[in-house]
């Protein structure tokens, strides 16, 4: 088969997957629409009618525009109004109020995902979707509740599913959206969800990387209504992700795999270093001796007993090499940070076969 035929098949396969995703979302929309928004006796509908949402937010709005509006414009109108509601009171309290009025005090992290497509023939359905999406955003926790990124922009493909890892720092399209979108309050709430996944994914590299991010962002919770504070938080998060990625890239340029980057950070005891030659040499020698053992240890069995045995055995390999290269690991201090980092790194390479960053 010629190369051009293979490429054509790959292109057609991609088109089919995209169409499948779109159809799946449409089925979900119809099912939920029938179950909830089309039933005017729904408890959510009753609560919606009892709120002052229309008066406080949409007074004077001509909802007949929905009869001719397309999906993209409807989405933008929704984001525009969510952004406005978040800005009505400090810390987004107005947004929290409407979510609680309709979905209950304890429902922020237990909402169904908004409809993949707007039920434009029903304004109440659109309003419920808006409040539901607002609740997902105000939850700030992808593990509690995330949502399809199609709600933010048509640049994200349909059929992505309800997966926290959509908010990964590896999602370059999402990072770009955070940087350029006009909805800065919404972007800050999405960025807080990205931070959560960033902490998890980079923790797998080393505790040094995790601590670097934690020290920079710990306690940095902006007033969601304050655009300047939201921008400051978003810029800080993006700078941190760029710094970590640049650090990993520099390690790769020096011939280190992702596990070795985590190891050299652990031996140094910090992310901020310039890949000193002695640390580079020690790192490569330690990994060369540990990797074969890790790959075959207990035939891949994963349990607490094997983990402790692995860590203790690998320390007997790593520490003499570190001493041979005169690495300053403060081993005479019972609270040695490099030693703690090294132990956690050993745990990471024992527990994780896929770092998601290679």
pLDDT of residue 290: 93
32 has a pLDDT exceeding 70? no
More confident residue, 76 or 299: 76
Cβ distance 152 to 181 under 8 Å?
yes
pLDDT at position 189, please?
97
| pLDDT at residue 42, as a whole number | 67
Residue 274 and residue 247: Cα distance in Å, rounded?
9
What percent of the chain lies above the pLDDT cut of 70? 77
Query: Residue 125 pLDDT > 60, yes or no?
Result: yes
Per the CB < 8 A criterion, the answer to whether 322 and 267 are in contact is yes
The region of weakest confidence among 27-36, 124-133, 211-220, 316-325 is 27-36
Q: How far is CA 216 from the centre of its chain?
A: 17
* CA separation, residue 304 to residues 311, 343, 351 (Å): 11, 14, 10
Examine the pLDDT at 299 and tell me if it is beyond 70: no
Question: For residue 122, what pLDDT band results from cuts at 50, 70 and 90?
Answer: confident
What's the mean pLDDT in 100-116? 61
Give the number of residues written for the chain: 358
Q: What is the mean pLDDT of residues 103-128?
A: 61
- Check whether 31 has a pLDDT greater than 70: no
How confident is residue 35, by pLDDT bands cut at 50, 70 and 90? low
- Which pLDDT does position 294 carry in this prediction? 83
Residue 6's CB is within 10 A of a number of other CB atoms, namely 10
- What pLDDT sits at residue 37? 47
Q: Is the pLDDT of residue 2 over 60?
A: no
pLDDT of residue 157: 73
16-20, 33-37, 237-241, 267-271: segment of lowest average pLDDT:
33-37
Residue 73: partners with Cβ closer than 8 Å, 6 or more residues away = none
Q: Which tokens go with 39?
A: 């039933």
DSSP 219: T
Q: Are residues 207 and 341 in contact, defined by beta-carbon separation less than 8 angstroms?
A: yes
233-254 burial, b at 16+ Cβ within 10 Å, e below that, comes to: bbebbbebbeebeebbeebeee
Of 63 and 195, the one with more pLDDT: 195
The reported pLDDT for the residue numbered 356 is: 39
Split at pLDDT 50, 70, 90, the class of 86 is very high
How does the average pLDDT of the chain come out, rounded? 82
- Give burial (CB, 10 Å; 0-12/13-18/19+) of 264: buried
> What is the pLDDT confidence band of residue 141, given thresholds at 50, 70 and 90?
confident
Q: What pTM, to 2 d.p., does this model score?
A: 0.81
The whole-angstrom separation of Cα 215 and Cα 351 is 25
At 38, is the pLDDT very low, low, confident or very high (cuts 50, 70, 90)? very low
Per mean pLDDT, which of 5-14, 70-79, 193-202, 237-246 is the most reliable? 237-246
């Amino acid at each position: 088969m010629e190369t051009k035929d293979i490429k054509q098949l790959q292109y057609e396969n991609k088109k089919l997957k995209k169409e499948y995703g779109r159809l799946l979302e449409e089925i979900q929309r119809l099912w939920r629409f029938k179950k909830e928004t089309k039933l005017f006796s729904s408890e959510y509908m009753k609560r919606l009618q009892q709120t002052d949402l229309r008066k406080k937010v949409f007074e004077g709005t001509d909802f007949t525009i929905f009869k001719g509006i397309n999906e993209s414009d409807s989405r933008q109108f929704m984001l525009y109004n969510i952004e406005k509601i978040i800005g009505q009171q400090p810390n987004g309290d107005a947004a929290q109020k409407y979510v609680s009025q309709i979905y209950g005090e304890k429902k922020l992290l237990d909402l169904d995902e908004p409809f993949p497509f707007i039920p434009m023939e029903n304004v109440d359905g659109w309003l419920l979707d808006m409040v539901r999406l607002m609740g997902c955003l105000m939850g700030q926790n992808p593990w509690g509740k995330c949502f399809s990124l199609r709600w933010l922009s048509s640049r994200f493909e349909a059929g992505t599913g309800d997966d926290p890892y959509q908010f990964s720092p590896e999602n370059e399209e999402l990072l770009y959206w955070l940087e350029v979108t006009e909805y800065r309050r919404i972007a800050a709430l999405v960025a807080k969800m990205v931070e959560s996944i960033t902490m998890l994914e980079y923790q797998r590299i080393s505790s040094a990387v995790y601590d670097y991010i934690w020290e920079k962002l710990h306690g940095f919770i902006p007033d969601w209504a304050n655009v300047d504070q939201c921008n400051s938080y978003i810029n800080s998060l993006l700078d941190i992700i760029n710094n970590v990625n640049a650090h990993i890239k520099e390690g790769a340029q020096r011939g280190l795999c992702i596990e070795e980057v985590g190891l050299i950070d652990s031996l140094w005891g910090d992310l901020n270093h310039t890949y000193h030659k002695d640390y580079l040499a020690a790192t490569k020698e330690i990994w060369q001796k540990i990797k074969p053992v890790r790959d075959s240890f207990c035939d891949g069995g994963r349990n607490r007993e094997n983990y402790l045995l692995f860590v203790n055995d690998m320390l007997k390999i790593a520490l003499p090499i570190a001493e041979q290269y005169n690495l300053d690991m403060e081993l005479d201090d019972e609270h040695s940070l490099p030693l703690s980092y090294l132990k956690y790194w050993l745990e990471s390479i024992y527990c994780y076969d896929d770092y998601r960053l290679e």
